[in-house]
Chain A
Amino acid sequence: MSAEDEFERLWRRIKEVEKSIRDYVEEEFRKTLEDIRSELRSIDRMLMPSWSHEGYLRPLYTVKDVGNAYVIYIDLPKVDEGSIDVRFKDNLVMIRAKLKEGLTLSNWSSRGSEVRFYEYREVIELPIRIDPKKVRVNVKRGRVQIIVPKE
């Protein structure tokens, strides 16, 4: 093997190591950023009331990273299952669903007792762009499962 070949081989190896270090740092940076964003989202969700004077409720939801996909579970008690409308835009999942009947908080709380609620509304942010053709949506007993493949 000539000195030039040897140098070429060494240079390729350096490039490979450099790429793997860069990939590792980028991946760690992406994960940290995702954790911070998720923490900020959860603080935001905690401080936001779960209902609006405009007559809608915000449902409970959870997002799980299951390796090859993100799975979103949304709890929609008293929902009219036929009215569940799930839409996707970039990395956002937008959900709207009507309640089986209008609902007030008057029996439970003095806060918001004057408001009547007719539907659920929520926008959920995922860390990836969503391909709507690959998404699967399942509904069971007022709970929704949305499977968003990563690729």
Chain B
Amino acid sequence: MEIYREEFLGDFRFVEYKPFRLERPAYAVIALPDAGLVGVIGAWHIVKSLKLEEVGGIDSYSFLPPVVVVSNKEIKLPVRIFAKDNLLLIYSEFMLPQVGMVQLSKALLNYIERKGVEYVVLMSGIPIQNRFEVEKLRTYYIITSPRALELLKDIEAVPFENGYLVGPYALLLKESIKSRLDSIMLLTESFLEFPDPEASAKNVEIFSKIIGRPIDVKDLLEQAEVIRIRARDAMKNVVRNLAQMRKEYEYTPPLHI
């Protein structure tokens, strides 16, 4: 692991392995473990399909487990940063404790803002109780600015009108508003406790339309069963953390609208 540049944002150490510059308009995807691992499964497919390069990583001795990722014999940091052309993608399979998530959200948005990112796309699953029966999945969106809405023209997604969002993406949305970033959150109906590559595929299809670059999800759907096997351990760890964050609160209808 060669280090070209490093900086500390709060308790997080951001490392760049090589110099990179994003073309305009620049998009950032932040993929963190949440319901059905929908975000991270989709993000990994984007990394592979668009052949994004691993340009950096993020570490924290306070909030991340003492872990390194060994990828093709090379040591990488647990939160991984990929980039190519006008796309920056930040990916973590590790779930942070709640206090760490707050700090990481702030640090991530600070970092991507300084990288010149104009739009942030967050992709996740929204758990539904009857996912076992449902085959046609619906996608909802939440936006943080009218400018972000312009990207959703002619896109098969409906606004998330009322309800709660619990977990890492709720924090990222709050921080996006604070940082005045144009962010879009895509939420496709999914399982909560099982990896859900079908929901990831739906998000990736919409993301591909948003950025105007084709991303084929055929491979993702064909590999869905293999992904479900591979993702079992990651899912198991995430479920426990989501329970501590009171993820089940998302099923609750708000008292007042």
Stretch at the interface among B5-13, B43-51, B224-232: B224-232
Measured CB to CB, the closest approach of chain A to B136, in angstroms, equals 13
Contact B237 A77 (CB under 8 A): no
Stretch binding the partner chain, chosen from A11-19, A25-33, A42-50, A86-94: A42-50
Could you name 30 residue pairs across A and B whose Cβ atoms are closer than 8 Å?
A: A42-B240, A50-B232, A57-B229, A57-B232, A59-B232, A60-B193, A60-B194, A60-B195, A60-B236, A62-B193, A73-B132, A73-B193, A73-B194, A75-B191, A75-B194, A75-B195, A75-B228, A75-B232, A77-B224, A77-B225, A77-B228, A78-B225, A78-B226, A78-B229, A103-B229, A138-B132, A140-B133, A142-B228, A143-B132, A143-B194
B-side interface size class: 10 to 19
On whether the beta carbons of A60 and B235 are closer than 8 Å, the reply is yes
A60-B194, A62-B193, A78-B225 are contacts. A108–B237 as well, Cβ < 8 Å?
no
Closest Cβ of chain B to A96, distance in Å, is 17
Contact with A along B222-250 (1 / 0, CB 8 A): 00111011101101110010000000000
Asked if residues B232 and A60 are in contact (CB atoms below 8 Å), the reply is: yes
Q: Report whether B194 and A46 are in contact in the complex, using a CB–CB cutoff of 8 Å.
A: no
- In Å, the complex CA distance between A60 and B133 comes to 18
The total of Cβ contacts below 8 Å across the A-B interface reads 45
| Beyond A140-B132, A140-B133, 20 extra complex contacts between A and B, CB < 8 Å | A46-B236, A46-B237, A50-B236, A57-B232, A60-B193, A60-B195, A60-B236, A62-B193, A73-B194, A75-B194, A77-B224, A77-B225, A77-B226, A77-B228, A78-B225, A78-B226, A78-B229, A103-B229, A142-B225, A143-B194
Tell me which residues across on chain B come within 8 A of A62, comparing CB atoms. Answer: 193-194
**CA distance in complex: A140, B132 (Å):** 7
- B 183-199 binary contact with A (CB < 8 Å = 1; else 0): 00000000101110000
> Closest approach, in angstroms, between the C-beta of B108 and any C-beta of chain A?
27
In the complex, the chain B residue whose C-beta lies closest to that of A42 is: B240
Chain B residues, Cβ within 8 Å of A143? 132, 194
7 shortest A-B CB distances, which residue pairs? A77-B228, A77-B225, A75-B194, A62-B193, A78-B225, A50-B232, A77-B229
| Contact among B195, B229, B240 for A46, CB-based, below 8 A | B240
